[in-house]
Amino acid sequence: MRRRQQPPLPKRYGLDPARLRLPEEGDWATVRDHLVERLPRVPAARIDQLLREGGIVDLDGPLALDAPYVPGGAVWFHRDLPEETTVPFDITVVHRDDDLLVVDKPHFLATIPRGQHILQTALVRLRRELDLPDLIPAHRLDRVTAGLILFVANPARRGSYQTMFHKRTVGKEYEAIAPYDPAVELPRTVRSRIIKEKQVLLAQEVAGEPNAETRIELLEHRDGLGRYRLRPLTGRTHQLRLHMNSLGIPILGDDFYPVLTDKPVDDFTRPLQLLASSLEFTDPITGVPRRFDTTRSLQAWTEPEAWAG
C-alpha cells in the first residue's frame, strides 16, 4: 500500500494543511500566478501575505513571492478558517486505550470538519484536547444527533476498525423520542429506498428496490410521547428520521422532516431527540466482544417540563 506523503507543515488547531498538486500543463510563470487563478475565493493580497510570511511551502520549504512554477509539484498551506459559533457542550470520553477512543458527542457538534464547521467539530476538539494528532473517526454521526462515536487513535489500526462499519458488522442502537400513536403497530421493520442528492439538504424516499432498513420498537410511552429503540441495518443519510416520519411519528426536534425549517446555527434549544445509544462488535484485532453504552439521555423524556418550555 502506498503511504500518504507527510505534509511539510505541522498541524494547526489539529488540522492538516491543505495540499494542492500543480498541474503538469500550464503557462504560469510563478506559483503565485497559479494560486491566484486556482483559488478565486482567496484574495490575491492574502496569497501574497501567505507567501511573504512563509505560509505556503513545498517539500524544500517556504516559497517566495517569485517562486517559479514547477509542473507536477505540490504546495501546502493552511486555509483561513471561517468564523464559528462555539458549541457550548462538552464531549464525554466513554473509553480510551492505545487503539480506540469512544466518546459521547453532544447535539449540535459535527463529527468532522466540513463547510462552516471546522474547529467546532468533535474530531478537531478531541485532537487538541487529548493531544491525539492522528485521531480519525471510524464512522460519523450527524451534527444534530448526539451519542456514541468510535475514533481510532492508532494509525496502524484504522483500516481494521473502519472496515467493520463499511461491512456493517457493528451492532448499532439508537434511542428516539417521538409522538406516541397507538395505531402504529410496533415492533416492525421499515424498508424503503432512500436517495440523497448533493447540494440538497433533504433526503427522499422514492419508489424502487429498498436500500434502507430499520427495526423500530416502542420501549415505553407516557403523556402522548413514546421512547423508541431504533436498530438501523443500513446507513443511509437521514434514514432513522425518514423512517420515523414515514410512520407518522417524526422525531421531536427534527427541523427537516416532515417540514424543513430554518434554524439559526447558534440556536441550541430543542435539539433533535435522537441518540446513538450503543455500539457492539467483535474487536477485529483482539477477537474480544466489545460493547459501549451512552452516558447521555434525551431531554424531552427526562426533562419534559424544560423541553415544553
Residue type, 96: R
Among 97, 134, 142, 283, the one annotated catalytic: 142
296-303 long-range contacts, Cβ below 8 Å, gap at least 24?
296/92, 296/104, 296/106, 296/146, 296/147, 298/175, 298/176, 298/177, 298/227, 298/273, 298/274, 299/271, 299/273, 300/177, 300/225, 300/252, 300/253, 300/273, 301/177, 301/225, 301/227, 301/273
Rounded (5°) CA angle 73-79-85: 160
Residue pair 63/22 in contact (Cβ under 8 Å)? The answer is no
Residue pair 120/112 in contact (Cβ under 8 Å)? The answer is no
Q: How many Å apart are CA 271 and CA 252, to the nearest integer?
A: 8
Residue pair 155/129 in contact (Cβ under 8 Å)? The answer is no
Decide if 142 is catalytic. yes
Cβ-based neighbours of 292, under 8 Å, separated by 6 or more = 94, 95, 102, 148, 150, 278, 279, 280
Residue pair 167/190 in contact (Cβ under 8 Å)? The answer is no
Closest CA relative to residue 177, chosen from 239, 221, 233: 221
Q: How many Å apart are CA 242 and CA 44, to the nearest integer?
A: 45
By annotation, the residues acting in catalysis are 142
